[in-house]
Amino acid sequence: MDTTTKINDKFTISYSIFVGLLFLLFALSRDLDRIFNLWLALVPLLLLPTIVVVLVLIGCLIYHATNRRWRRVLSVVAAPVIAYLFFSLLGEFGINTDRIRFEFGKQYYLDQIARVPRTEEPRFKMFDWGSTGGAAVVNILYTLIYDESDEIGLSPEQRSTAWNQRANALCPGSHMCSILNPNPPRHIVHIKKMQGHFYLVTEFFQ
């Protein structure tokens, strides 16, 4: 191994960052679809960068292996693993696009809730978070809900009669009817607590 090869044969995190950007694109794909209504355009949007990244990694792997730069080879091989572990670690700490979107918009949601007149009943407000999907694919509908009673987070059997009456009264002109009446397996409702009295309701329509 000559001096130049030794100097250039260093473990580098740059390949992991390169792969991480691809993983980030996949992580953001759902939100991009919600914002821009990409639908079928999402396929080439994800496929083309994936092909580019794979080809670049294969090319780098062959080049460094040919020049016996084994630390560089290790950098390329380890890149997907490091990127995956990084995003898995973020997930373990609850850091995802839903959490980031909620934190950035939280003050707006609190301001809107503050405008809801106070009565004897717990305050309740819905925020449309968009949808994804289209014909022949699963359609996903997102709704952020503020429920001061927190009963939206309970199972249907545990919710009070008073809560059900208030929720059913919201059915005309809102998503409450479909949220209250799932029809599995074609229609599934998933409810996740975000923070305080905020809940993210995700509906899957097949």
Q: What is the pLDDT of residues 20-54, one digit of tens each?
A: 999 999 999 988 888 788 878 888 999 999 999 99
Q: Judge whether residue 59 has pLDDT over 90.
A: yes
Residue predicted with more confidence, 7 or 203: 203
CB 87 within 8 A of CB 109: no
Residues in the chain: 206
Using CA atoms, how far apart are residues 70 and 109, in angstroms rounded to an integer? 53
pTM (predicted TM-score): 0.81
| Predicted local distance difference test score (pLDDT) of residue 115 | 95
C-alpha–C-alpha distance, residues 196 and 112, integer Å:
15
Q: What percent of the chain has pLDDT over 70?
A: 97
Q: Determine the 3-state secondary structure of 131 from DSSP.
A: strand
pLDDT digits (tens, 9 = 90+) for 77-96: 999 999 999 999 999 998 99
Cβ atoms of 178 and 168 within 8 Å: the answer is: no
β-pair partners for 127:
144
d(CA 177, CA 164): 11
- The domain limits of the chain are 3-92, 97-205
Model confidence band, residue 7 (pLDDT cutoffs 50, 70, 90) = low
On the question of pLDDT at 134 being above 80, the answer is: no
User: In whole numbers, what is the pLDDT of the chain averaged over residues?
Assistant: 91
Calpha distance 47→54 (Å, rounded)? 11
Cα dihedral 16, 22, 23, 29 in deg (nearest 10)? 170
- Angle CA(146)–CA(196)–CA(93) in degrees, nearest 5? 120
Q: Count other C-beta atoms under 10 Å from residue 88's C-beta.
A: 9
